[in-house]
Structure 1
Amino acid sequence: MSFPVAHLFVVLGSSLLAVAVLMAISFAIGAATGKYSIIDAIWGPGFVVIGIVSFLVSAGGNYGDPTLRWVALAAVAIWGLRLGGYILLRNHGLPEDPRYVKMLEGHSKFMIVRKVQVPQGVIMWFVSIPVQVAMLLPSPALWLVWVGALVWLVGITFEGIGDAQLARFKSDPANKGKLMKTGLWRYTRHPNYFGDSAVWWGLFLMVAWTWIGLLTVLSPILMTYLLVAKSGKALTEKRMAKSKPGYAEYVNSTSGFFPLPPKKGAVTA
């Protein structure tokens, strides 16, 4: 069976419409509550919405391999719901994120739409393209699907454990002002960002056995670039360097992204 290119455009268009609706809902919630940071909690579940829409729209044409479709949907759902739930709990009871407060100074609330929601919506849609393609691929190379699932599992494990370790560390008043550098944080300064990247490389591998799947490589590349050079690692490290004593030493002793043994002489407790 050949790949249904025409139906892919139907799936892509449907998911883009779903993203637009989701961003509108996010803006409405922000306007009603005064907390536009809700977009952060919606980020992960937004991918789940795309996965479900892609799954349902593609089902109408009886396209795709059932195993690959369900594996891709389950993978993106587990990742997205875990991340969304974690961020929602982390931000519960906190005031508006200072980033958005600063962004709105002297501007109307629609500045959030232009500078946050539209870019995030487009990125969400683009990064999710491997999942959308997975819904339409026939007779997959199962060995590569399971390799991708293994990479995804490594990613979700690093991200989940890293977030849990950091949350537990921050919950202890004795650690106020201190730097987290134990557990997975001993091997990488950003186990959550590394895990996030691995999740999307795993999803890409699930479809990389076809020419159309290979074309989606820009999706995990974009996600990794954002995590390393833009909103993830770079932004976090800039803030940490100013607020956490001893962060320079931590940088010198611990891998910046990919997990590696700490350098000799590193302080890990």
Structure 2
Amino acid sequence: MQDIDNLQKSITVGTLHTKAAPFVYQSSLYQILLFDQEAIVQIDFIPYVIPPQSILFLSPYQHLSFTGDITVQTQRLRFHGDYYCIEYHKKEVACNGILFNNIYVQPYVTVPLPLFHQIEEIFLKIENEIKPIYQHSDAIIKAYLQLILALCSKEKKSIMKDFLPLELQDNTLAYQFQRELERAFRQQKTVVYYADQAHLSVDRFSKKIKQQLGKPPSTLIQERTILEAKKMLHLTYLPIKEIAEQLHFHDEHYFSRYFKKHVGISPSQYREQVGISIVAK
């Protein structure tokens, strides 16, 4: 069982107020935010209108900013992925995880009101469990967190199954691009390559992908590359030079500059703060 100080550093429950948040907000922890009212935000500089009764999932060092005029106060749970739910968490941080890190779908899930209230209650139970005046139970807190992830995963899978947009069904351009990107992103990082595969001009290809997926292909290529780099930094002990080589960067220094440009910190800082030191070998 961890001591209270380490526990509080590993998981916290509180609020995030739009007036108190910096214009661009980041955290070295995984985050779950509850929105009981509509909010207009940017996540990694992509705009979203988050409906009421929605739950937002953010990975370490994702960019979050509030852009609307309405003051928003959200309940926020932050946790260090390697202290909590290691096996379950690894599934969630895998590429295209249903909650975290899926670059092709919206980063939030809108849930029925009873489920929203149930998750609010679990937040409160976690907050009460980690208060220093109580004899906390690490196992109970882990179970509560796993329950939140399981309930939200189930709801999001149901939504995606029942309302899969036409743009992501088999044989559409968006679906074909997604499959080709998953296969080739390590070697191919230019829009020209993917446009050629689709037998379209770059302009026409880019326009169609943005219409269907909400982001230009250049952004999706960059996000997929950064996502893989984050996963390798977080979940492996590979040297940064080897990660750069596996992602087909010319050299380690270019990879580091690329990563810092899009994430805000260097690969070594990301590895140190997100938790490589406690990932099981």
TM-score of the superposition, structure 1-length normalised?
0.29
* Structure number having the greater strand percentage: 2
TM-score of the superposition, structure 2-length normalised?
0.28
Task: Give the number of the structure with larger relative contact order, counting CA–CA contacts within 8 Å between residues 6 or more apart.
Answer: 1
